[in-house]
Amino acid sequence: MPRRWIAMLLPWLVLVPLGLAGRATQAAPDSVFAVNSDADVNDAVVSDGVCETGPGNGICTLRAAIQEASDSPNPDTITVPAGTYALERVGYDNSGVNGDLDVTGPVTITGTGPDSTIIDAGAISDRVFHILEGSVTIAGVTIRNGAADNIMGGGGGILNMAR
């Protein structure tokens, strides 16, 4: 190959691999977790990017979706269909395993409307949501029967510590 062709192609040979490497390091796309069960069950494997209560079962609960979204640094979306989602896992922790729904990542939670999508903490004597960090948007849901916590300073429906 003549030298002038090599001189002309050399910048392209350098730029093309750099462009491909730049694409490979981009952040992962945001995830959408579609809740399909009203049970209050934990995610089977938090941090695998899959919302399911057992390996391969395809069952995504609200608690499991929040656990997966909280583990991701990217903004995620959780869609919640019509129904009543009763929190039933009694106990206090900040891991989201028991008690209120602990949120530690940027997430948007969207229901089908306040008259049709209800998140109820009446059975656990705890608040509904505990936002520990991250930006959270909640729309189209009713949040009810949360119990304010005197230790943390209130927040029966939502306690936002991510200020």
For residue 141, the one-letter residue type is V
Domain ranges of the chain: 3-160
* Residue 155 pLDDT: 73
Residue with tokens 């991510």: 162
Select from 66, 154, 156 the least CA-distant residue to 120: 156
pTM across the whole model? 0.80
Judge residue 146's burial from the number of C-beta atoms within 10 Å of its C-beta, 0-12 exposed, 13-18 middle, 19 or more buried.
buried
Q: Which residue has the higher pLDDT, 16 or 128?
A: 128
Instruction: Give per-residue pLDDT as tens, 8-65.
Output: 443 433 333 333 333 333 345 589 999 999 999 999 999 999 999 999 999 999 999 9
The full length of the chain comes to: 163
Instruction: Give per-residue pLDDT as tens, 131-159.
Output: 999 999 999 999 999 988 666 666 789 98
Instruction: Give per-residue pLDDT as tens, 76-102.
Output: 999 999 999 999 999 988 889 999 999
